[in-house]
Structure 1
Amino acid sequence: MSPSSNKTSVRVEDRELTLSNLDKHLYPDFTKSEIIDYYVRVAPVLLPHLKDRAATRIRWPDGVNGPKFYEKNAPSHTPDWVRTVNVPTPGSSKGRKSLDFIVVDDLPTLVWCANLAALELHVPQWKVGPRGKLHDPDLMVFDLDPGAPASIVEACEVAKLLRDLLAGDGLDSYPKTSGKKGLHLYVPIKESRRTSEYAKEAAERLAADHGDLVVSRMERRLRKGKVFVDWSQNNPAKTTVAPYSLRATDVPSVSTPVTWEELENCDRAGDLRFSPDEVLERVDEHGDLLEPLLGPHKQSLP
């Protein structure tokens, strides 16, 4: 490494990167250097979940207490070795018919994103092929969002009910925390255009059977004390925070894969809140709990 002013040159695999402001606190007690170190160390389990997916980065250049902005388009200073893919963006607020998205396929790209204060990495449920073809979704996701005074404890109850409903349709599901107050439930599937349709129908079935705890409609007024089963993230235009991504909370937290046993034993919100160091320890112990999303075990929607 060769420091120059507030910049440092570093070799990441076969790329030379210039990192800046490494001692800047992007969280009150967590510096950019520590953020980059976390992403480098978690990369072996994170990168497979980012591979071949067009990434939306949420950036906090002045830290989590400053303004944020969503970045979909590759910025003009994107290195030529960073993979990009052109994706149609109908209904874009900027009137663009398509944007060049970044695909975080390797460690240098991940470090480059972290250096730009991209604390959160969000991806869709579909992949892009090697020549830029957009595939149909190979994942289905449910976002379980508790409305106060409900918490992640109630979200765990709903996750178990949803797991059983999906199992009744022959579908295995895998949970992770959102890194904030809720949970995400993933279902690996054979490529299908029906994910949004099926997910909505499943959420409505769950709400019909457990109306005291579950709501499937978007209106916020309906969510008090209940858990909103958000099926809409299966819309191809939407994204979900990636497994192992940091979240922009006052204290660094991570969207963390968890076991069903942990959900069964969740008695208070803090039980399922994990710091970067805790996540790295969990990876050492468990490996990637969401590895089934990556393998050949793809299920057909009923």
Structure 2
Amino acid sequence: MTPITEVEGRRLALSNLEKVLYPATGFTKGELLHYYATIADVLLPHLRDRPVSFLRYPDGPEGQVFFTKNVPPGTPDWVTTAEVSRSEGPARMVLVQDLASLMWAANLVTEFHTHQWPVGTLDEADRLVLDLDPGPPATVVECCEVALWLRERLATDGIQAYPKTAGSKGLHLLAAVRGSSSDRVSEYAKQLAMEAERAMPRLALHRMTRNLRPGKVFVDWSQNAARKTTATPYTLRARALPLVSAPVTWAEVSGCGAPGQLAFQAGDMGARLEDYGDLLAPLLDRAGAAALP
């Protein structure tokens, strides 16, 4: 029998709570739901008003994994949705605006992915993202080296960058921006990636070309395109372990000497929030958003 629970006045059927989603650690669906419930205060502000794409893995990362952009079948009528323009025509997407919607979406077993613009402002991005993706044998350690260079470079343009782990093997840099289209932010991000490659030719790369990737960090600037999404801060990832896309401090980035130092699982996040609060909270302050040069 599927248990029914009430969240903020909404009745939710939460299913298969004992199912093991991450066999390597025995982490269950019930633990996944508990994680999202306890992290909601810091996660929801990064989801709110942003159309959400779901990367679903209902049988765990080793089972079928599929991407859902449109409103999933069976979505309750109290879940907020919004019409979003796409190249193939308008589509409806979910907005996770409150705890009840978050728990409904988490019950689908999902990674949360969001655009770099809030609903209603498709023509203006409010985020810049640089996805630092290491090509083996490079690891997050090399990503940190590139991230530190990019931090300084962005600062020369008056833009403050904030790091988080990808929750897999790389690092994301985020910044709050204003007054520019997604196309313009993409152009600027590509320029930064090219400058990083020129400054660190043995380490950084601005092209995705596979045979150039080994041992280098691909500075993926393309996720600034209006149609693209990036893993939302604090989302769990569909990996072998219940890894989180976790905000980190610049001190942790500069002190990273081994990949394990920047690998955070669901169980680590409570203590980190006690120590640091939401390290990405400045991204939510529109007054601090920078104009591109």
Q: Same fold (TM over 0.5)?
A: yes
Corresponding position of 2:86: 89
Counterpart among 22, 44, 59 of residue 27 in structure 1: 22
Give me the whole-angstrom Cα distance separating, in 1, the residues matched to 2:112 and 2:144.
24
Give me the whole-angstrom Cα distance separating, in 2, the residues matched to 1:221 and 1:205.
20
Segments of 4+ moved more than 4 angstroms: none
| Maintained 8 Å contact 2:122/2:226 | no
Give me the whole-angstrom Cα distance separating, in 1, the residues matched to 2:253 and 2:136.
19
| Maintained 8 Å contact 2:161/2:174 | yes
Corresponding position of 1:16: 11
Q: CA deviation at 1:86?
A: 1.2
Corresponding position of 2:187: 197
| Maintained 8 Å contact 2:242/2:266 | yes
Corresponding position of 1:138: 126
Corresponding position of 1:99: 91
Deviates more, 1:286-295 or 1:167-176: 167-176
1:177 aligns with 2:165: yes
1:255-294 equivalences in 2 (<5 Å): 255-294=245-284
Q: CA deviation at 1:135?
A: 5.0
Corresponding position of 2:112: 121
Give me the whole-angstrom Cα distance separating, in 1, the residues matched to 2:268 and 2:193.
32
1:150-189 equivalences in 2 (<5 Å): 150-189=138-177
Q: CA deviation at 1:75?
A: 1.9
Corresponding position of 1:73: 70
RMSD across aligned C-alpha pairs, in angstroms?
1.0
TM-score by length of 2: 0.96
Give me the whole-angstrom Cα distance separating, in 2, the residues matched to 1:114 and 1:30.
14
1:180-234 CA-to-partner distances (Å, cap 9, x unmatched) read 1000001111131110010001111111121111000121111111100000000
For structure 1, list consecutive stretches of 5 or more residues without a partner in the other structure.
91-95
| Maintained 8 Å contact 1:143/1:182 | yes
For structure 2, list consecutive stretches of 5 or more residues without a partner in the other structure.
none
Give me the whole-angstrom Cα distance separating, in 1, the residues matched to 2:72 and 2:262.
35
Q: CA deviation at 1:277?
A: 1.4
Aligned length: 288
| Maintained 8 Å contact 1:46/1:243 | yes
Q: CA deviation at 1:64?
A: 1.3
SS of equivalent to 2:179: coil
Counterpart among 91, 94, 100 of residue 108 in structure 1: 100
Q: Give, as a single letter, the amino acid of the residue that structure 2 aligns with 1:65.
A: E
SS of equivalent to 1:125: coil
| Maintained 8 Å contact 1:55/1:104 | yes
| Maintained 8 Å contact 1:89/1:237 | yes
Q: Give, as a single letter, the amino acid of the residue that structure 1 aligns with 2:129.
A: V
% of aligned pairs identical?
Answer: 50
